[in-house]
Chains A and B, each alone.
Chain A
Amino acid sequence: MAIFFAVLSVIFFLAGKANGKRQKGIASVIFLGPALVLLLAGLVIPGIQTILFSFENADSNKFVGVQNYSWMLHDPDIHRVLINTLLWILVTPLLTTGIGLLLAIFLDRMKRESIPKSLIFMPMAISFVGASIIWKFVYNYSTSGGPQTGLLSAIVKIFGGQPSNWMLSKPLNTFLLMIIFIWVQTGFAMVILSAAIKAVPADIVEASSLDGAYGWRLFRFITFPMVRSTFIVVLATMVVGSLKLFDIVRTMTGGNFGTNVLANEMYAQVFVQFDQGRGSALAVALFICVSPILIYNIRHLRRERTH
């Protein structure tokens, strides 16, 4: 601690000494320095290293060119992984944010809205692994001919259907896993969007209703345009979240039965099969997939600021 302060005082003393033209430059180096060092050590260097690893063999001691990438493009199992990941980014963010928006609108005018909102928000406090274990009971299927105790099987039975081993039914199983994500994340989307709806100035709503905008028209032309940027931020967060998704798949199926996703395969490659090259190539693929969304998000934020 003492050393830390000593170093800091020396730095600040030197910064104070600097004057004239160079003052601004030196000051910015001193203030940005620590953040830059941390960014380098925690993000840039590991990032570059991962990219380098992706061109090397399993033990990262031999350059193998694009072999890991060609494996990724030619292995049928990885095709399934990529298709599933694509499904996750297309379906879950839209459903999560959409349902969140609907709930936010419907609950907005309700008396005691805090009660249903808290209930819907509550799953957010559960980790994905915990949520998966809960849903394992919902999707449970008894194989030994005993009574079916899973909730889903019970519901299907009420409607006259046949319970089946849900985790094995392709491609339904991927969507069943998505429901867990939606269940956990909808509350978050709802709370953020609800705050945005509440921030729509009352006079605008009043004026538009005087002009005859009710219900759908009010939503379409007034409310939605005003919460649009929040909607997009939430959507982007969900896209990034579903791209990185790992816990649910690992807990529910371990990536078997055609439910594997990119992040789970990456983990399995590096930490179970000890193939750093392939794992890194998958990580780079993940990074490339996330980048456009991040870029869009940043540009969007910038545009907002200039308005």
Chain B
Amino acid sequence: MSIRRKSLLTGAGVAVLSLVATMVTTIAPAHAAANCDPYSSYKGIKGKTVTVFTSILEPELTTLKTAWKDFETCTGVKIKIEGSNQFEALLPVRVKGGNAPDIAIIPQPGLLAKMVATKKVIPASAGVIANVNKYWSKSWKDLGTVNGKFYAAPFGSNMKSLVWYSPKQFKKNGYTVPTTWADMTALADKMAGNGQIAFCGGLGSGGATGWPGTDWVEQMVLREYGSKVYADWVSHKVKFSDPKIQAAMAKVAAWMQNPKWVGDVKGIATTTFQDAGKGIPTGKCNMLQQASFYGNILAADGATIAADGDVFAFYLPGTNPAVTVPVVGGGEFMTGFRNAPEVAAVLTYFSSATFATSRVQLDHWVSANSGVPLSAYKDPIDRLSAQYLSNPKSTFAFDASDLMPAAVGAGKEWTEFTAWFGEGKSIADVTKAIDAAWPAS
């Protein structure tokens, strides 16, 4: 599930991390005289204003404004950005009421499709299409495509396919970071042989208990079968009880419900996701599959996050060579609602490597834009995420539980996966119950 919805539901834990994220935000050094060379192609938009509506809030808004300051100075266009925590409710109202912003930064593909259905969204301009073809992998472009027409280029993104571990503990025990699934299971066996717990896990998250389990299953479905089956699974063309999904879940069970590797399987259901990784720095347990934001939780306990520090992350390896660089994550998409040269220019600029590079240089942010040099990233986890997100071969999939109807993605899937771990409910029964909860449309 997205960090946005999760913070609403889990409260404290994630509130703490957003606070930490706020604290690590640094103020960009004052710009010297702007270098206008990269912006020479944006002409004839001087004095125009473009409004942007987004779910991004302060202090990130200020950082964004800093990132496009040179663009504004050089082209003479003015970008007015407005953030709201009610974005997903307000945008449809504004669009229906004829008060649409020039550009909306939409945090999930479902809402994008809804907006396109209003026929108010302007298809992407030639400039945007050129940028997307050049800088993004096909699966990203597909996410901005509705009914065969491309509308929206990606904006920011985040990555869930990470495994957190402790470089210090690995060094002490002579473990090496695995790069294939077989390596990872061999390493886990080695850890078990040394009497250590290989994988940490925790499903507990108050009223949202169970969501980490949905992430694990998503990772496995994408890894085993690729984008097509994944998309069909999200739209329920492939049911949970489908042999494919059941097989993927069996593979998750062989991984996260393997008592040899995780110790107390049922305990995973009662451990909170925040507590799950607490044992990593001390080697109590060694690896935890969690999204990129998890570093903030570990850092809040005083762990240093670095490739040679207390904790770091590696990419969760793929399982099926036919699916190249599978990545589960999230992202935002930019849509234009006004057909004007200045709006097209701003959208083209937002989808360019110039913008993304100037943004990642400021602080914590990830772009799947492959034109951004990895060296530009300030945060090592961001750099790691970008390395996989922007890989032209990457098979990217959006967090499925966020795309499924709430009765499943925020309901039965959570409770059933919790019962799967905590009560030993069988995969057949779990999938049957989830399918039964899928709303008839």
Q: Which residues of A contact B (CB under 8 A)?
A: 58, 75, 77, 141, 143-146, 165, 167-168, 170, 250-251, 253-258, 268-269, 272-275
- Residue on B with the closest CB to A64? B440
Q: Which residues of B contact A58 (CB under 8 A)?
A: 407, 439
Known contacts A256-B418, A256-B419, A273-B411; is A141 also within 8 Å of B270 by CB? yes
Q: Which residues of A contact B284 (CB under 8 A)?
A: 144, 146
* SS class, residues of chain B in contact with chain A: helix
Sampled A-B contacts (24; CB under 8 Å): A143-B263, A143-B271, A144-B197, A144-B263, A144-B267, A144-B285, A145-B264, A165-B264, A165-B267, A167-B270, A168-B269, A170-B423, A250-B207, A253-B209, A254-B206, A254-B208, A255-B415, A256-B269, A256-B415, A257-B418, A268-B207, A272-B207, A272-B410, A275-B406
How distant is the Cα of A75 from the Cα of B9 in the complex, in angstroms?
25
How distant is the Cα of A255 from the Cα of B210 in the complex, in angstroms?
11
How distant is the Cα of A146 from the Cα of B271 in the complex, in angstroms?
14
Which 10 pairs, one residue from A and one from B, show the smallest C-beta to C-beta distance? A143-B267, A273-B411, A254-B209, A143-B264, A273-B406, A256-B418, A273-B407, A274-B406, A272-B410, A254-B207
How distant is the Cα of A268 from the Cα of B410 in the complex, in angstroms?
9
Q: Which residues of B contact A75 (CB under 8 A)?
A: 436
Evaluate contact between A272 and B411: CB separation under 8 angstroms. Answer: yes
Tell me if B422 counts as interface (CB < 8 A to partner A): yes
Evaluate contact between A273 and B266: CB separation under 8 angstroms. Answer: no
* SS class, residues of chain A in contact with chain B: loop
Q: Which residues of B contact A (CB under 8 A)?
A: 9, 197, 204-210, 263-264, 266-271, 279, 284-285, 406-407, 410-411, 415, 418-419, 422-423, 433, 436, 439
Q: In the assembled complex, how far is the CB of residue A211 from the closest CB belonging to chain B, in whole angstroms?
A: 58
How distant is the Cα of A17 from the Cα of B112 in the complex, in angstroms?
64
How distant is the Cα of A255 from the Cα of B263 in the complex, in angstroms?
25
How distant is the Cα of A256 from the Cα of B9 in the complex, in angstroms?
16
Q: Which residues of B contact A268 (CB under 8 A)?
A: 207, 411
Evaluate contact between B206 and A250: CB separation under 8 angstroms. Answer: yes
Evaluate contact between A77 and B406: CB separation under 8 angstroms. Answer: no
Evaluate contact between A165 and B270: CB separation under 8 angstroms. Answer: yes
Q: Which residues of B contact A258 (CB under 8 A)?
A: 423
Q: Which residues of A contact B207 (CB under 8 A)?
A: 250, 254-255, 268, 272
Q: A144-B264, A144-B284, A256-B209 are in contact. List 18 more A-B contacts (CB 8 A).
A: A75-B436, A141-B270, A143-B263, A143-B271, A145-B263, A165-B267, A167-B270, A168-B270, A168-B422, A254-B206, A254-B418, A256-B210, A256-B415, A257-B269, A257-B422, A268-B207, A268-B411, A273-B406
Evaluate contact between A165 and B415: CB separation under 8 angstroms. Answer: no
- Residue on A with the closest CB to B203? A256
How distant is the Cα of A250 from the Cα of B10 in the complex, in angstroms?
12
How distant is the Cα of A167 from the Cα of B203 in the complex, in angstroms?
14
- Residue on B with the closest CB to A254? B209
How distant is the Cα of A273 from the Cα of B409 in the complex, in angstroms?
8
Evaluate contact between B410 and A273: CB separation under 8 angstroms. Answer: yes
Q: Which residues of B contact A167 (CB under 8 A)?
A: 270
Q: Which of A75, A253, A272, A275 is packed against the most chain B CB atoms within 10 Å?
A: A272
How distant is the Cα of A143 from the Cα of B422 in the complex, in angstroms?
12
Q: In the assembled complex, how far is the CB of residue A76 from the closest CB belonging to chain B, in whole angstroms?
A: 8
Q: In the assembled complex, how far is the CB of residue B361 from the closest CB belonging to chain A, in whole angstroms?
A: 39
How distant is the Cα of A274 from the Cα of B9 in the complex, in angstroms?
13
Q: Which of B268, B284, B285, B406 is packed against the most chain A CB atoms within 10 Å?
A: B406
Q: Which residues of A contact B266 (CB under 8 A)?
A: 165, 168
Evaluate contact between B422 and A256: CB separation under 8 angstroms. Answer: yes
How distant is the Cα of A216 from the Cα of B278 in the complex, in angstroms?
56
Q: In the assembled complex, how far is the CB of residue B224 from the closest CB belonging to chain A, in whole angstroms?
A: 27
How distant is the Cα of A254 from the Cα of B410 in the complex, in angstroms?
13
- Residue on B with the closest CB to A260? B415
- Residue on B with the closest CB to A251? B206
Q: Which residues of B contact A146 (CB under 8 A)?
A: 284
Known contacts A77-B415, A258-B423, A275-B407; is A141 also within 8 Å of B209 by CB? no
How distant is the Cα of A141 from the Cα of B266 in the complex, in angstroms?
11
Q: In the assembled complex, how far is the CB of residue A145 from the closest CB belonging to chain B, in whole angstroms?
A: 7
Evaluate contact between A272 and B269: CB separation under 8 angstroms. Answer: no
How distant is the Cα of A77 from the Cα of B267 in the complex, in angstroms?
22
Q: Which residues of B contact A269 (CB under 8 A)?
A: 411
